[in-house]
Structure formats: C-alpha cells, structure tokens
Homo-oligomer: A and B are copies of this chain.
C-alpha cells in the first residue's frame, strides 16, 4: 500500500521532529516505556530505572510538554502515564520494526 503524503507545513514538520527527538534519548525512552505499564509516581519510576529523581523529573517535564505523557496528583505523589493510546501505538510499531530488522539481519 503506497502512502499518500500531503506536504507538511514547517510547523507540522517541526512538531513531528520534536516528538521523535524526545523519544530519541535512551533514558527518556526508558521512562516513556515505563509509563506504558500504567500510572506510576515519579519516585517509583526513578527507582525502577535506577535514575535520580531529578533526572526523571526533568525528562517528564519535557515529555509532558509534548503530550507524550499525562500526569495526575495523588496526594503528595504525582502519577505519570502515557498520554494516549496513539502514542503507545507509534512506539509499538517502532518496536515491531526494530524487531523485524534484527530478524532480517540474522
């Protein structure tokens, strides 16, 4: 199936690149992957990934700004989860692609 590609505006291209760029850092990507499992407080994410609380918070701020994750206060904690299932799909597709490439290599 050929893909129809209507030309994107400059802003659309920039937004698109931003999304990819934010997912392009290994640490940040690990954080995003962690938020796929469900709403998790910042401290739990940091502990699970063995990262400093500050670093996780910095990254979550960026991810929040791009609407890759959503947050919700629960008492003193702030729980983060993937923003929507569309973002999750994009990530899953890329995982599938990477897997296929690896298979083709072997």
Contacts and interface: CB of A to CB of B under 8 A. Distances in A.
Contact of A8 (B85, B88, B95): B95
A26 B24 CA distance: 13
A21 interface: yes
Interface in A48-100: 67, 85-100
Q: How large is the interface on A (under 10, 10 to 19, 20 to 34, 35 or more residues)?
A: 35 or more
Tally of this chain's copies: 2
Nearest to A12: B98
Nearest to A100: B86
A2 to B, nearest CB: 8
Interface of A: 1, 3, 5, 8, 12-26, 29-30, 33, 36-37, 67, 85-102
21 contacts: A3-B92, A5-B36, A5-B37, A12-B102, A13-B26, A13-B29, A13-B33, A14-B26, A15-B101, A16-B91, A16-B98, A17-B26, A18-B24, A19-B24, A20-B23, A21-B24, A21-B25, A23-B24, A24-B24, A86-B93, A89-B93
